[in-house]
Amino acid sequence: MAHCNGSFTILAFFFSLAFLTAIKSETMFARELSARDQFRLKPEKMTHLRFYLHDTVTGQHPTAMPVAQAATTNTSATLFGIVTVMDDPLTVSPDLNSTLVGRAQAICASSSSRSGMSLTMTMNLVFTEGAYNGSTLSVLGQNPILKNPRELTIVGGTGIFRFARGYVQLRTHTFNIKTRNAIVKYDAYASHY
Ligand SMILES: *[C@@H]1O[C@H](CO)[C@@H](O)[C@H](O)[C@H]1NC(C)=O
Ligand SMILES: *[C@@H]1O[C@H](CO)[C@@H](O)[C@H](O)[C@H]1NC(C)=O
Ligand SMILES: *[C@@H]1O[C@H](CO)[C@@H](O)[C@H](O)[C@H]1NC(C)=O
């Protein structure tokens, strides 16, 4: 009899546990997953991407344009206060006609009021080439445009680049003082799964 009673207690315990778990899964908003078993993350790897950004400010088809500026921007040697939105093509070589790998879509604010030109950048690198088509890297950082190289932070990504972190080095390839158009070499180092 004591044995019977014990089994019943244990059964009742498991039933109530199952019941409680069912209630819990309907109401909870957060739960921990095992990254390896449930999320199926592969071992972490590092990808190096190299491409050239074409920043076209003037001409028939500008891909970067100012959208706002401070009343004092025109008198500032560093163009402090100007905000630019860009949708610059990214290609495999400095030639604009070479293979397109994606676009850099960004909001840049000229944010150095005293010395040197510096942009605060919020940028998504939106890739369209091969296996990377549809994947993005999100980049943040300070871009002192006269320094070579300069470095921005990769803060995340989507698609192939989920959970990405890393950095991007920028080097000015060409800058045309007359047109203000530039070609910038990007070396992105992204750690992801
Ligand atoms: C700054 O200069 C540009 C070009 O000369 C002009 O179009 C713009 O109106 C000026 N902006 C201000 C706020 O004075
Ligand atoms: C790219 O190709 C177009 C037309 O095919 C040509 O007009 C243009 O000069 C080329 N640009 C460069 C940088 O080679
Ligand atoms: C990238 O994917 C989109 C949508 O899936 C497709 O329309 C496009 O042709 C692809 N681009 C390249 C270069 O493969």
Tell me the mean pLDDT per 10 residues along the chain, length 193: 54 56 69 76 92 96 96 92 97 98 98 92 98 98 96 98 97 96 98 95
pLDDT computed for residue 46 by the predictor: 97
pLDDT computed for residue 157 by the predictor: 98
Ligand 2 atom with the shortest distance to the CA of 97? 1
d(CA 157, CA 136): 5
pLDDT computed for residue 1 by the predictor: 45
**Distance of CA 68 from the midpoint of ligand 1 (Å):** 11
pLDDT computed for residue 115 by the predictor: 82
d(CA 26, CA 73): 55
pTM of the model: 0.83
**Distance of CA 175 from the midpoint of ligand 2 (Å):** 18
Alpha carbon nearest to ligand 1 atom 9, residue: 74
Task: Answer for the pair 69, 82: CB distance below 8 angstroms, yes or no.
Answer: yes
Choose among 59, 50, 54: nearest CA to 97.
54
